[in-house]
Chains A and B, each alone.
Chain A
């Protein structure tokens, strides 16, 4: 029996589509009830639906063998996991954004204040990659408000189309990382359930190639 942690929402459905294409019977997981654990004994699969940012926790601790999680969450949480496959879903970028007039002038502002939902990614980007100290202001949503209200000079956030930014007079200043959904595997499960997991990875890989 393999336990698979899926992030509630669109990403879960898209993952199930790929699994179906790879030849797995995932009808149990399509159940639209409010059940959080969906099990199919015959297929040897058990699905758990969790908050996206909790998926790496379930997988790292071994409560789930496999999980699907955005690269943003992986970077932010820094978990000990095997990151085996890029599912190519939920593609976007992690960016530094701010007022459009700051373009190419970002480095000129000393002691920047940065608003973000991703304090760890922000710290490792500014300290590790750019080699500068910044003040990080942790926010939980509508991060774009921070530069508009003067709470921070810039933000670090996920950018998909960039529409929210543009409509508020903001722009992408720098790209921190490319983001997409990844298939992650618990390090112990990879050893103890190798016979189930390795073929699954191979089949999913094939299904992804077919799609391209």
Chain B
């Protein structure tokens, strides 16, 4: 076993100071979710492959079989297992669930992205409309601010707008895929080469150049005749109105080129960005059709934040301080030392009890090396 010491590609250990820091962030998120009425659930981390197969590329799932030969996979995200959970129950809707869990995605590692990483997120199930969309978006912004990501930009888009626009321009499915890719890549080269009218090209180019707030919507609205696309824009407008009430408008911009790669989104979608990481740390949106895969009609909206990417960003933004270990070590006479350590712990001071019988000098040196502030050496009452 030459590679015994190493973790597999895309996976890593959480070192003591970082792990403690991460737990602090998790507590902040957990508290925020709870304050907003989102009850935490835990899914097992292993799902039937069938649960995911409609939504995720097969090669991105870690798959294995159980003793009966059923094909299983690791949890890929928080949303699908939560919808599965909700669809299997008969709760009065809406319900609000949250999670903080590790996710496993094969072949997605690199640039701060790992194959095994931690996400926190919420799902609001059984609620439609802009007010519900806005609640989730507002909590997404709060979650970033809560864990110290203050340089935040959130782009919001609308899947229905794109669908409506394609309908309006009369573009067939093959053309739509091409345009979708071009817009998602902001590839104006391809758009300019399309065989459509100059005016339609201008409209498509407006999508790739969008990035304002109300102005972006007002600018494109006169060109839109499709009812679905119009509704999508008014949904975004209402979300912006609510963001303004929260005081969050400064974090938000409208990006009509945000056409999610995951096809399950059906309405507004958003991504959150910060400095020093090349990938979005927040991702969310409305997914009204996912529950259909489980035989239910549940309109839903949710988001997740990657704690793993957020920690990378915080470290590079100099906003990271490792969690501290014990501040006191007690050694010397074991009986007295035990009593002293217990007394310290009772008043809330993290204390290490030396169980190896170090002499005073060794104990001092050990404490110094480990960064333990206080050394207490007990002489057993003989002095």
Contact = CB atoms under 8 A, between A and B. Distances in A.
Interface stretch (B117-125, B273-281, B284-292): B273-281
A185 B257 CA distance: 15
Interface size class of chain B, counting residues whose CB lies under 8 Å from the partner chain: 20 to 34
Contact of B277 (A62, A83, A86, A198): A62
Interface in A38-89: 60-63, 81-86
B111 A61 contact: yes
Given A62-B279, A188-B278, A81 B112 contact: no
Given A62-B276, A84-B188, A188-B278, A194 B110 contact: no
Interface in B236-263: 253, 255
Contacts of B274: 188, 192
B156 to A, nearest CB: 12
5 contacts: A60-B111, A63-B111, A85-B188, A187-B278, A188-B280
A81 B275 CA distance: 16
B275 A192 contact: yes
Of B187, B276, B280, the most chain A CB neighbours within 10 A belong to: B187
Contact of A61 (B112, B253, B280): B112
B201 interface: no
Interface in B149-200: 151, 153, 155, 185-189
Contacts of A189: 278
Contact of A82 (B153, B186, B275, B279): B186
A182 interface: yes
Contacts of A105: none
Contacts of B110: 61
B211 interface: yes
A158 B185 CA distance: 23
A32 interface: no
Given A60-B278, A61-B112, A83 B273 contact: no
Contacts of A185: 186
A205 to B, nearest CB: 9
B205 to A, nearest CB: 11
A189 B276 CA distance: 9
Contacts of B279: 62, 187-188
Interface in B198-215: 211
B27 to A, nearest CB: 27
Nearest to B110: A61
A116 interface: no
B155 A191 contact: yes
Given A61-B110, A61-B112, A62-B111, A186 B185 contact: no
Interface residues of A, number: 21
Contact of B185 (A82, A86, A192): A82
Contacts of A82: 185-187
Contacts of A194: 211
Interface of A: 60-63, 81-86, 182, 185-192, 194, 198
B186 A84 contact: yes
B107 to A, nearest CB: 12
Given A189-B278, A191-B155, A192-B275, 7 more contacts: A62-B278, A84-B187, A185-B186, A187-B278, A187-B279, A188-B274, A191-B211
User: Helix, strand, loop or mixed for chain B's interface?
Assistant: loop
B48 to A, nearest CB: 29
User: Helix, strand, loop or mixed for chain A's interface?
Assistant: mixed
Given A186-B278, A188-B277, A81 B185 contact: yes
Contact of B187 (A62, A63, A83): A83
Contacts of A63: 111, 278
B2 to A, nearest CB: 27
Contacts of A188: 273-274, 277-280
Contacts of B155: 191
Nearest to B280: A188
Contacts of A191: 153, 155, 211, 253, 255, 273
A194 B275 CA distance: 12
B271 to A, nearest CB: 8
B305 to A, nearest CB: 15
A27 to B, nearest CB: 28
Contact of A192 (B153, B186, B188, B189): B153
Contact of A86 (B189, B211, B253, B275): B189
Contacts of B185: 81-83
Nearest to B272: A191
B111 A182 contact: no
Interface string B32-66: 00000000000000000000000000000000000
A83 B186 contact: yes
A61 B186 contact: no
Given A61-B110, A191-B153, A85 B275 contact: no
Contact of B273 (A61, A86, A192, A198): A192
Contacts of B276: 62
8 shortest interchain CB distances as A-B pairs:
A62-B278, A61-B111, A82-B186, A86-B189, A191-B153, A83-B187, A188-B273, A61-B278
A192 B151 contact: yes
A83 B151 contact: no
A83 B188 CA distance: 8
Nearest to A186: B278
A71 to B, nearest CB: 9
